[in-house]
Amino acid sequence: MGAVSEKREGYNMTIDRLSGAFLVLLGLFVVWERRVLPLGTTSHPGPGYVPLLLAILLIIFGAILIVRGKGARPLRSVSWSEAPHAVAILGCCIFVTLFMETIGYRLTLLVVLGFLFGVMERIKLWLTLALTVGFAFGSFWLFDTLLRVPLPRGGWGF
Amino acid sequence: MEATFHNLILGFSTVFTPANILYSLVGCLIGTMVGVLPGVGPLAGISMLLPTTFGLDTTSAIILLAGIYYGAMYGGSTTSILMRIPGEAASVMTCIDGYAMARKGRAGPALAIAAIGSYIAGTLSVVGLMFLAPPLAKFALGFGPPEYFCLLVCGLVVLSYMTGGSIVKNLAMIVFGLMVGMIGIDQMSGYFRFSYGIVALGDGVGLVPVAVGLFGISEILVTAGSPEIREVLKPRLRDLIPSKQEFKDSIAPIGRGTVLGFLIGIIPGSAHIISTFVSYAVERRISKHPERFGQGAIEGVAGPEAANNAASEGALVPLLALGVPTGPVPAVLLAALMVHGITPGPLFIQEQPVVFWGLIASMYVGNMVLLLLNLPMVGLFVNLLRVPYRILYPTILLFCVLGVYAVNSSLVDVGIMSIMGVLGYLLRKMDFETAPMVLGVVLAPIIEFSFRQSLAMSAGDYSIFIQRPIAAFFLVIALIMILLSLKPLFIKKRDWRERLTEAQKDA
């Protein structure tokens, strides 16, 4: 039993080993993707020359992290308590990326801010409405109307 | 000397218009708010507010952005003193004695000395910048591609050593940043690289979405949802004026902090943070009563605050004279300058004297504005600290989206910002520093161009980098830094880099 737990301990993944492995994989991916770019010669390096050098460096650094990563923090010690909030915020960013030019800046911000204030943070309804409308329309007026920074209006001109 | 003063008069004549003074005022005020609010550092602040300068002429835009920059550097001290929360990492040392003073009912003098120290250090550092940047730029005019390549390599290695944390991780982040910087059309051959048919990526990945994602969005992702327990000590504003003894005790630390901060500020890396460490250590070492440190010694506020502000202006020397940013904040300033059609570098001071000397003059004005404006308005900043974070972060998110979108009117940039936000969040979980990556992204085109040009010059002979004395000098410094970073493998002793890492985590 003791030997089993010791073996399990030995295989403990640390943050350095995991990140080192990612760096190695990323380096290998760049080496693979670079094959369509001419390497050139040392006297006239092509567009693939420097990316290849960088990929090799990344693989080396990743390997060092894997080799020296035993004493690093265990992966299970990383806290993900804020993850639900983070996922929601990220969802909002994706929503903005996909829809802001289609439905316009103000409508997008009404949806996003309303969701964050009202659903995620459970702020009182009147305050949610005031903040959402105020920020969505106020920021549009400040940037688009006053500072002449063009913001998307969407299909309905709104 | 005469030419310098003539140019300075030119600068003041540019700045002393009602509109530019207003921009300086607004910049300092917004910058201080950015510095005060936890989670909005100067980097995210400048990036978010960059679009507000689009409608302005170049000089006014630079004056506004510079105001935000040094206002943010000052603002961090308020939260350090009143809440024991550093607004940004450079204010960590101010927490120790500043908060101890506040607990003893001396928050007012601590804030006043921080403001006066910042003002003196800021003003004297501008003098240093004024005299050092033009000759450095003149010297750099003789640099060819090999010198530039070695200078940048040296800068990046020094940055990875001075940033704290694991040097291997920092170097990996630089390489990763350089790779991200390779995306887009190759300048020399016209090939599309790693853009997967996305036309918007032809111009490459912009610095603003990368910086806002890695610093602004990742901060929101990490901190949103965390419990809010904030105790804000209310300063007794009637007691803002420090006592005679406190003034006397602060003068020498401010002077030493200014010199240390300015000199350290020129070095790449977390210079403004390191300078506060060094200043605090020096003050404690030479004090006749070192036991007072940690219990509310005014020297522990005066020295680090002066060093912090001096370092942030020292960082402008290599940026303006060589076009080389030494940290992520100067990198974003560089991007902001480039948006306005200015490319800092050896020719910048010669070709754009009105902008350069206008910026110098605006710094004198800005430092004065900070001193006059911020102390009476400390009550406003305290109230700002009482806004709950659950209301604050959606607002910050709004400005991040707005700031990134407005640079190129591109939703691809907003997408890049989101990806970088997730990446920054994961990198922080894995104990990686994101600042080296930002520098990698911004320097990638110059470093690749000078590398390939150097090899073309030497017909593929790599020895060109050691045959030219200046290039070889930079490589030797880089080598020394790498050797120094190997020291912990042989000597098991806690060094300053570990303490710096801890301070950055605390912040």
Q: Answer yes or no: do A41 and A73 share one domain.
A: yes
E strands, B188-286, are 192-193
Residues of chain A with C-beta less than 8 angstroms from the C-beta of B186: 47
Q: What is the pLDDT of residues B272-308, one digit of tens each?
A: 777 888 888 888 888 888 888 888 889 999 999 999 8
Instruction: Give a yes or no: residue A19 inside a domain.
Output: yes
Q: What is the pLDDT of residues B320-342, one digit of tens each?
A: 888 888 877 888 888 888 888 88
Q: Answer yes or no: do A58 and A102 share one domain.
A: no
pLDDT band of A1, cuts 50, 70, 90: very low
Q: How far is A1 from chain B (nearest CA, A)?
A: 31
Q: How far is B499 from chain A (nearest CA, A)?
A: 17
Number of domains in chain A: 2
C-alpha B179/C-alpha A52 separation (Å) is 10
| DSSP state letter for A153 | -
Q: ipTM > 0.95?
A: no
Q: B44: closest CA among B336, B335, B396?
A: B396
Q: Answer yes or no: do A99 and A142 share one domain.
A: yes
Cβ of A65 and B168 within 8 Å? yes
Q: What is the pLDDT of residues A84-99, one digit of tens each?
A: 899 999 999 999 999 9
The nearest alpha carbon in chain A to B426 belongs to A19
- Burial class of residue B54 (count of CB atoms within 10 Å of its CB; 0-12, 13-18, 19+): middle
Buried b (16+ CB within 10 A) or exposed e, B471-505: bbebbebbeebeeebeeeeeeeeeeebeebbebbe
Cβ of A109 and B398 within 8 Å? yes
* Other beta carbons within 10 Å of B258: 29
C-alpha B154/C-alpha B152 separation (Å) is 5
Q: Answer yes or no: do A63 and A21 share one domain.
A: yes
Q: Answer yes or no: do A90 and A70 share one domain.
A: no
C-alpha A139/C-alpha A145 separation (Å) is 9
Instruction: Give a yes or no: residue A108 inside a domain.
Output: yes
Please give the residue that has the higher pLDDT: either B330 or A22: A22
Range of the domain at B173: 2-506
* Other beta carbons within 10 Å of B338: 14
C-alpha A65/C-alpha A23 separation (Å) is 9
Phi/psi for B138 (5° steps) reads -65, -45
Across the range B482-489, mean pLDDT stands at: 77
Cβ of B391 and A50 within 8 Å? no
State the DSSP string of B156-174. HHHHHHHT-S-HHHHHHHH
Query: Last residue of some domain: A35, A51, A77?
Result: A77
Cβ of B191 and A33 within 8 Å? no
Partners of residue B184 on adjacent β-strands: B193
- Burial class of residue B368 (count of CB atoms within 10 Å of its CB; 0-12, 13-18, 19+): middle
Report whether pLDDT(A71) > 90.
no
Buried b (16+ CB within 10 A) or exposed e, B234-245: ebeeeebebeee
Q: Answer yes or no: do A39 and A90 share one domain.
A: no
Number of domains in chain B: 1
Of the candidates A33, A68, A86, the beta carbon closest to that of B425 is on A86
Cβ of A85 and B168 within 8 Å? no
pLDDT score at B312: 84
Q: How far is A149 from chain B (nearest CA, A)?
A: 7
* Residue appearing with tokens 């140019």: B7
Q: What is the pLDDT of residues B64-77, one digit of tens each?
A: 888 888 788 777 78
Q: Answer yes or no: do A100 and A48 share one domain.
A: no
Residues of chain B with C-beta less than 8 angstroms from the C-beta of A121: 390-391, 394
Q: Answer yes or no: do A105 and A129 share one domain.
A: yes
Q: Answer yes or no: do A87 and A140 share one domain.
A: yes
Q: Answer yes or no: do A54 and A90 share one domain.
A: no
Residues of chain B with C-beta less than 8 angstroms from the C-beta of A41: 460
C-alpha distances in Å from residue B67, one per residue of B33, B42, B63, B395: 12, 11, 6, 22
Q: Answer yes or no: do A95 and A126 share one domain.
A: yes
pLDDT score at A50: 95
Cβ of B398 and A113 within 8 Å? yes
Indicate the Cα dihedral angle A13, A16, A19, A23, nearest 10°: -130
Of the candidates A47, A116, A150, the beta carbon closest to that of B193 is on A47
Compute the mean pLDDT over every residue in chain B, rounded to the nearest whole number: 84
CB neighbour list of residue A42: distance below 8 Å, 6 or more residues apart: B455, B460, B462
Range of the domain at A97: 83-146
Q: What is the pLDDT of residues B340-392, one digit of tens each?
A: 888 888 888 888 888 888 888 888 888 888 888 777 777 777 777 778 888 88
Helices B244-265 and B271-286: crossing angle in degrees, nearest 10, is: 140
- SS3 (DSSP) at A104: coil
Across the range A119-123, mean pLDDT stands at: 91
Contact between B204 and B177 (Cβ < 8 Å): no
Best A33, A41, A44, A54 member to test B by mutation, with max B CBs in 10 Å, is A54
Contact between B349 and B135 (Cβ < 8 Å): no
pTM of the model: 0.83
pLDDT score at B266: 83
Report whether pLDDT(A149) > 70.
yes
Best A93, A127, A142 member to test B by mutation, with max B CBs in 10 Å, is A93
Instruction: Give a yes or no: residue A156 inside a domain.
Output: no
pLDDT score at A2: 47
Contact between B70 and B363 (Cβ < 8 Å): yes
pLDDT score at B498: 64
Q: How far is B459 from chain A (nearest CA, A)?
A: 4
pLDDT band of B409, cuts 50, 70, 90: confident
Phi/psi-derived region of residue A123, left when phi > 0, alpha when psi is between -120 and 50, beta in every other case: beta
The nearest alpha carbon in chain B to A110 belongs to B398
Contact between B375 and B240 (Cβ < 8 Å): yes
Instruction: Give a yes or no: residue A140 inside a domain.
Output: yes
Across the range B200-225, mean pLDDT stands at: 86
Q: Answer yes or no: do A98 and A141 share one domain.
A: yes
Residues of chain A with C-beta less than 8 angstroms from the C-beta of B421: 90, 93
Contacts of range A28-31, beta carbons closer than 8 Å, 24 or more positions apart: A28/A55, A28/A59, A30/A54, A30/A55, A30/A58, A30/B179, A30/B194, A31/A55, A31/A56, A31/A59
* Other beta carbons within 10 Å of A148: 9
Please give the residue that has the higher pLDDT: either B274 or B17: B17
Cβ of B222 and A82 within 8 Å? yes
Query: Last residue of some domain: A28, A44, A77?
Result: A77
**Which range in A27-31, A151-155, B1-5, B286-290 is most confidently predicted, on average pLDDT?**
A27-31
C-alpha B81/C-alpha B76 separation (Å) is 9
Of the candidates B178, B191, B432, the beta carbon closest to that of A19 is on B432
Residues of chain A with C-beta less than 8 angstroms from the C-beta of B222: 82, 86
pLDDT score at B493: 63
C-alpha B472/C-alpha A82 separation (Å) is 48
C-alpha B406/C-alpha B339 separation (Å) is 11
Residues of chain A with C-beta less than 8 angstroms from the C-beta of B389: none
Q: How far is B430 from chain A (nearest CA, A)?
A: 6
The nearest alpha carbon in chain B to A27 belongs to B176
Q: How far is B326 from chain A (nearest CA, A)?
A: 21
Cβ of A47 and B430 within 8 Å? no
Q: What is the pLDDT of residues B67-121, one digit of tens each?
A: 888 788 777 788 778 877 766 667 778 888 888 888 888 888 888 898 889 889 9
Of the candidates B189, B223, B417, the beta carbon closest to that of A46 is on B189
Instruction: Give a yes or no: residue A122 inside a domain.
Output: yes
pLDDT score at B247: 87
The nearest alpha carbon in chain B to A115 belongs to B394
Q: In angstroms, what is the C-alpha Rg of chain B?
A: 22
Query: Is the alpha carbon torsion for A30, A62, B218, B501 positive or negative?
Result: negative
Cβ of B430 and A131 within 8 Å? no
C-alpha B501/C-alpha B507 separation (Å) is 10
